[in-house]
Chain A
Amino acid sequence: MSTVSEQDRQEFRREVSAWLRANKPADPGFLLPQSFMEVGSEQQLEFLREWQYKVWAAGYLGMAWLKQYGGQGLDPGFQSIADQEMRRHAVPICFNVIGLGWAGPLINDIGTEAEKSRYLKGILTGEDIWCQGFSEPDHGSDLGSAQTRAERDGDDYVINGTKIWTTMGNFAKYMILLARTNPAAERKYDGLSFFLAPMQVPGIDPRPIRKLTGEYGFTETFFTDARIPASCLMGEEGEGWKIAMKTLQYERGAEAGAAGGLAFVRIVIDDMIEQLRDVERDGAPVLQDPAVRDQLVQLIMEEKAVVLGDRRAGIAPLTTDYPFSLPLSNKLRFTENTRRMRQLAINLQGADGGLYVGDEGARQGGFWQRAYLNSFSATIGGGTSQVQANIIAEHILGLPK
Chain B
Amino acid sequence: MSVMGNTALSFSEDQAMILDVARAFCRDKSPIGSVRALLESDTGFDPGVWRQMVDMGWPGMALPEAVGGSGLGMGAVVPVMEAMGKSLLGGPLLGSVLAGQLLWRAADDSAPSDSTRNAVLVALAAGAPAAVAVLDNHDWGASRIRCELGTDNALQGVKQQVMEAAGAEWFVVVAQQAGEPVLALVPAADLVAGARRSHTLIDCTRRAQAIDFSGVRVPEDAVVRGPRVAAALRDFRLLGALLVAAEAGGSAAACLDTTVDYLKTRKQFGRLIGSYQALKHPCVDILVGVDSTRSFVYHAATLLTDGELDREAEVACRMAKAQATETLKYAGDRAIQFHGGMGFTWECDAQLYVRRAQWSQQAFGDAQHHRKRLAQLLLDD
Contact = CB atoms under 8 A, between A and B. Distances in A.
B7 A308 contact: yes
Nearest to A309: B295
Contacts of B319: 301, 304
23 contacts: A268-B4, A273-B3, A293-B375, A293-B379, A296-B375, A300-B4, A301-B292, A301-B296, A301-B322, A301-B374, A305-B296, A311-B9, A317-B15, A322-B287, A329-B287, A386-B281, A392-B287, A393-B274, A393-B284, A397-B256, A397-B260, A399-B283, A401-B275
Given A294-B372, A315-B9, A390-B280, A398 B299 contact: no
Interface in B257-279: 260, 263-264, 271-272, 274-275, 277
B323 A398 contact: no
Contacts of B3: 269-270, 273, 300
Looking at chain B's contact residues, is the secondary structure mostly helix, strand, loop, or mixed?
A: helix
Chain A interface, >50% SS class: helix
Given A309-B295, A389-B280, A390-B277, A321 B11 contact: no
Contacts of B151: none
Contacts of B253: 321
A355 interface: no
A392 B319 CA distance: 25
A315 B20 CA distance: 14
B11 to A, nearest CB: 5
A305 B300 CA distance: 12
Contact of A325 (B4, B280, B291): B291
A300 B298 contact: no
A302 B275 CA distance: 28
A312 B9 contact: yes
Interface of B: 2-4, 7-11, 15-16, 19-20, 253, 256, 260, 263-264, 271-272, 274-275, 277, 280-281, 283-284, 287-288, 290-292, 294-296, 298-299, 319, 322-323, 368, 371-372, 374-375, 378-379
Given A294-B371, A298-B371, A305 B264 contact: no
B287 to A, nearest CB: 6
Contacts of A308: 7, 9, 292, 295-296, 299
Counting from the closest, the 3 A-B pairs by CB-CB distance are A308-B295, A305-B292, A293-B375
The range of chain A's interface size is: 35 or more
A399 B260 contact: yes
Contacts of A398: 260, 264
A293 B11 CA distance: 32
Nearest to A301: B319
Contact of A268 (B2, B8, B11, B379): B2
A326 interface: yes
A158 B66 CA distance: 81
A400 interface: yes
A315 B322 contact: no
Contacts of A397: 256, 260, 283-284, 287
A254 interface: no
B291 A326 contact: yes
Nearest to A396: B287
Interface string A309-340: 10110010110011001100100110000000
A190 interface: no
